[in-house]
């Protein structure tokens, strides 16, 4: 079928394909089968749920009316104890069981929009005209509301409620400005057309049903509320009064297991339908924007997400120094440029030019580059989406203009939109609640970020030797003694030093990192803490069976030991070479270099200690997230662990209070270490409800320790950068002293 090109009032609307097959967006048979399967699962849940609810309702009726209010032939105390110990507990237990089954019907999901911001047509007429034209082209209903947020996404969502099970729900459109920042108009059209493909899918109604069922099951199975608090309190009464609480606890445990199984079944089936819906929505996008626009949009998603995360991290660390930007997306673009330099990929996130002959086109995604798919994935792997989108390959002209031109009526309004969303990021993502935050021009903030990054990243001339590792300088004093006793000179060490530095250490460090990651996995298998899928795991570049785990662990330890010995030799020789040169320059240069090495070793000790405490805290928080009953069953142990961590941290914190930071690259120095690592101080030694609620005390300690660990790593990287700068200056001065003619 032929499609007309757009002109005139549609100057911001990219042209679609000239020819599109009639059956391109036809719903496949597999899609229909998945819809029927989801419906069957939902009907099965409704039957089970109504049966349970009916049984609970009958139990309430029976305990109130069927169970006698007085014991036969009972008198005096006997009648009172019958009422207190049997009748009332039975009624209370049956009512609580009924409430357990219905409480999810009355729970409404939290309505917090976070960084979302609703757009109005009068402020963004181009965008709304674009959306209206696109809805007409794909045959979708115009969204109820249009929102933007800071992320790299586009999505359909609805305000789900029980009424949505009986009346049609109008869907909302969410546009992530992090994605807008990297897409051209054709790619943006493809992204929105994909979402409007979901708008037009009748199976989207099932999503509303599944959402409501999930809310109901989650309230019963995974959420803990006042109902659980009351049951726990009841269990602490006299056993003659609380026996029913234990029976009720066993009943709800069994119900949670049953409903948890239904939750798993419904969502696994729904995820399979969701993946089929993604393929169909992709075809809708291809029909109006062409194959290339959709695939290139998918290709840019990874780099957009990575650069946005880097930009948010940059703004967080800039905020620690009271620098606040008004445009997150300026920094996202700069972060993407930095990532290209770091990765050594000038075209990272940039798909290759569109070829005129589709037969010469090379795929942008390859199966071996994709992570293994999971049954819980809502989206199919990108290489399959690309393959389907290009069969058949639909040609459309690419509009390379930035999609930002659709937002706002002029540059000032666009800047205002970016500022509003950036303010929300500071508040809801970075946790900076200050009202009327004094925002600054992004160029000025970026200068601060660039200076910080320069201090924290190492020159490419070091070939990755100092990236993501600690220096092996635990035997620093022995190296000094050896150099002085043996009279090691720079001339003597220079040939060996140059030989080591002629090597490219990046592959070695990359392999070292892989081995460290594999070591933790294999050790967990050997200790029985982890069971690999299908009884096989990957390490040392190949597949192994579980029975070979011990053998693989030994090999990994040997390989890591070999690389570690090589790195130790490099660190030792590098220090002794520059220490020897400094000794020929002056005692001050020699002592200055040694002091900075000692300082860096001290920062490493702080960072390692904080890493251990942060790891313990994160492990507990992961268990609490995975198991809703963990905090209830082990709450005392959690508080005890956090209290012990706080006590163990106290002498370290006092040491940090006494220690002052020397002058470092990009840092003037003379600050106390505690001020840098714990800028807001520490919670009290013991939790005290009168001073701070227990939950707040635990959350604050977690945030303080984990943030301090990250700050310590940054301080360490800055310290290593300072050592490298000092060594470079020592070498320059020594060479000038050896050959004065070189200074001219």
Task: Kindly state the helix (H) or strand (E) to which residue 415 belongs, with its residue range.
Answer: helix 411-424
pLDDT of residue 687: 86
Tokens standing for 269? Answer: 């089936």
Separation of alpha carbons 163 and 168, rounded Å: 9
pLDDT-derived band at 566, boundaries 50, 70, 90: very high
Nearest to 613 by CA among 589, 643, 588, 593: 643
Instruction: Give yes or no for a contact between 573 and 493, defined as CB atoms under 8 angstroms apart.
Output: yes
Instruction: Give yes or no for a contact between 227 and 99, defined as CB atoms under 8 angstroms apart.
Output: yes
Contacts 24+ apart (CB under 8 A), 409-414: 409/123, 409/124, 409/125, 409/126, 413/123
Crossing angle of helices 549-585 and 587-626, rounded to 10°: 150
Tokens standing for 365? Answer: 């995604």
Hunting for tokens 């009907």 — which residue is that?
43
Nearest to 138 by CA among 300, 3, 276, 12: 3
Nearest to 129 by CA among 4, 9, 293: 9
What percent of the chain lies above the pLDDT cut of 90? 45
Residue 69 has pLDDT above 70, yes or no: no
| Cα dihedral sign, 42-46-47-49 | positive
Which has more confidence, 641 or 4?
Answer: 641
Instruction: Give yes or no for a contact between 408 and 124, defined as CB atoms under 8 angstroms apart.
Output: yes
pLDDT of residue 9: 44
Tokens standing for 164? Answer: 């949505």
**262-285 in b/e burial notation, b at 16+ Cβ within 10 A?**
bbeebbebbbbbbbbbbbbbbbbb
Out of 34-43, 65-74, 141-150, 299-308, pick the least confident: 65-74
Q: What are residue 467's phi and psi, to 5 degrees?
A: -75, 130
Tens of pLDDT, residues 698-720: 999 999 999 999 999 999 999 99
Separation of alpha carbons 709 and 575, rounded Å: 26
pTM beyond 0.95, yes or no: no
Which of the given ranges, 211-215, 411-415, 669-673, has the highest pLDDT on average? 411-415
Residue 1 has pLDDT above 60, yes or no: no
Residue 77 has pLDDT above 70, yes or no: no
Strand-pair partners of 542: 539
Nearest to 641 by CA among 708, 692, 705: 705
Separation of alpha carbons 722 and 458, rounded Å: 10
Query: Strand, helix or coil at 51?
Result: helix
Instruction: Give yes or no for a contact between 6 and 13, defined as CB atoms under 8 angstroms apart.
Output: yes
Separation of alpha carbons 241 and 487, rounded Å: 84
């Amino acid at each position: 079928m032929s499609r007309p090109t757009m002109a005139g009032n549609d100057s911001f609307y990219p042209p679609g394909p000239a020819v599109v097959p009639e059956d391109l967006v036809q719903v496949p048979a597999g899609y229909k089968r998945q819809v029927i399967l989801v419906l069957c699962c939902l009907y099965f849940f409704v039957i089970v749920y109504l049966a349970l609810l009916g049984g609970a309702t009958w139990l309430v009726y029976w305990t109130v009316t069927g169970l006698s209010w007085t014991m036969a032939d009972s008198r005096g105390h006997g009648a009172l104890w019958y009422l207190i110990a049997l009748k009332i507990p039975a009624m209370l237990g049956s009512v609580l069981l009924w409430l357990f089954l219905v409480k999810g019907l009355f729970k409404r999901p939290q309505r917090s929009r976070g960084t979302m911001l609703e757009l109005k047509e009068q402020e963004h007429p181009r965008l709304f005209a674009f959306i209206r034209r696109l809805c007409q082209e794909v045959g979708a209903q115009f969204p109820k509301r249009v929102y933007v947020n800071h992320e790299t996404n586009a999505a359909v969502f609805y305000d789900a409620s029980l009424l949505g099970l009986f009346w049609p729900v109008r869907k909302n459109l969410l546009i992530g400005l992090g994605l807008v920042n990297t897409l051209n108009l054709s790619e943006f059209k493809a992204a929105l057309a994909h979402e409007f493909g979901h708008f037009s899918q009748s199976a989207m109604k099932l999503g509303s049903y599944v959402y409501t069922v999930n809310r109901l099951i989650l309230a019963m199975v995974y959420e803990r509320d006042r109902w659980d608090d009351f049951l726990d309190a009841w269990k602490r009464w006299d056993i003659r009064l609380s026996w029913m609480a234990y029976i009720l606890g066993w009943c709800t445990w069994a119900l949670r297991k049953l409903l948890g199984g239904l939750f798993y079944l419904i969502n696994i089936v729904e995820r399979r339908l969701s993946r089929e819906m993604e393929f169909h929505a992709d075809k809708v996008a291809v029909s109006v924007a062409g194959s290339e626009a959709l695939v290139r949009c998918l290709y840019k998603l990874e780099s957009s997400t990575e650069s946005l995360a880097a930009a948010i991290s940059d703004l967080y660390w800039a905020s620690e120094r009271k620098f606040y930007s008004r445009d997150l997306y300026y920094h996202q673009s700069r972060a993407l440029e930095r990532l290209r330099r770091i990765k050594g990929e000038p075209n990272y996130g940039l798909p290759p030019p569109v070829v005129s002959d589709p037969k010469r086109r090379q795929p942008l995604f390859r199966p071996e580059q994709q992570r293994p798919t999971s049954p819980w994935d809502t989206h199919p792997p990108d290489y399959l989406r690309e393959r389907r989108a290009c069969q058949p390959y639909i040609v459309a002209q690419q509009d390379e203009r930035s999609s930002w031109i659709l937002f706002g009526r002029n540059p000032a309004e666009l800047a205002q939109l970016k500022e509003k969303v950036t303010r929300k990021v500071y508040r809801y993502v970075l946790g900076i609640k200050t009202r009327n935050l004094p925002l600054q021009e992004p160029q000025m903030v970026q200068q601060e970020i660039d200076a910080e990054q320069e201090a924290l990243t190492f020159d490419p001339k070091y070939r990755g030797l100092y990236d993501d590792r600690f220096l092996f300088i635990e035997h620093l004093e022995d190296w000094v003694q050896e150099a002085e006793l043996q009279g090691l000179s720079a001339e003597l060490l220079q040939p060996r030093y140059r030989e080591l530095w002629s090597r490219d250490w990046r592959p070695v460090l990359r392999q070292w990192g892989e081995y460290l990651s594999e070591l933790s996995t294999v050790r967990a298998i050997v200790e029985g803490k982890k069971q690999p899928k299908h009884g096989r795991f990957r390490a040392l570049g190949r597949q192994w069976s579980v029975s070979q785990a011990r053998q693989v662990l030994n090999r990994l330890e040997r390989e890591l030991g070999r690389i570690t010995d090589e790195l130790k030799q490099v660190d030792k020789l590098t220090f002794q070479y520059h220490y020897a040169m400094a000794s020929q320059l002056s005692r001050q240069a020699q002592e200055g270099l040694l002091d900075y090495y000692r300082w860096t070793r001290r920062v490493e000790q702080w960072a390692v200690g904080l890493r251990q405490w942060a790891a313990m805290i994160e492990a507990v928080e992961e268990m609490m997230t995975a198991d809703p009953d963990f905090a209830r069953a082990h709450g005392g142990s959690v508080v005890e662990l956090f209290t012990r961590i706080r006590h163990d941290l106290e002498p370290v914190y006092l040491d940090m209070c006494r220690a002052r930071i020397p002058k470092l690259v990009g840092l003037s120095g003379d600050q106390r270490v505690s001020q840098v690592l714990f800028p807001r101080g520490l919670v009290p030694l013991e939790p005290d409800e009168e001073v701070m609620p227990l939950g707040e005390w635990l959350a604050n300690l977690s945030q303080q320790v984990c943030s301090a660990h990250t700050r310590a790593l940054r301080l360490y990287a800055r310290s290593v950068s300072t050592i490298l700068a000092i060594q470079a200056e020592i070498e320059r001065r020594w060479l000038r002293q050896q050959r004065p003619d070189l200074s001219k």
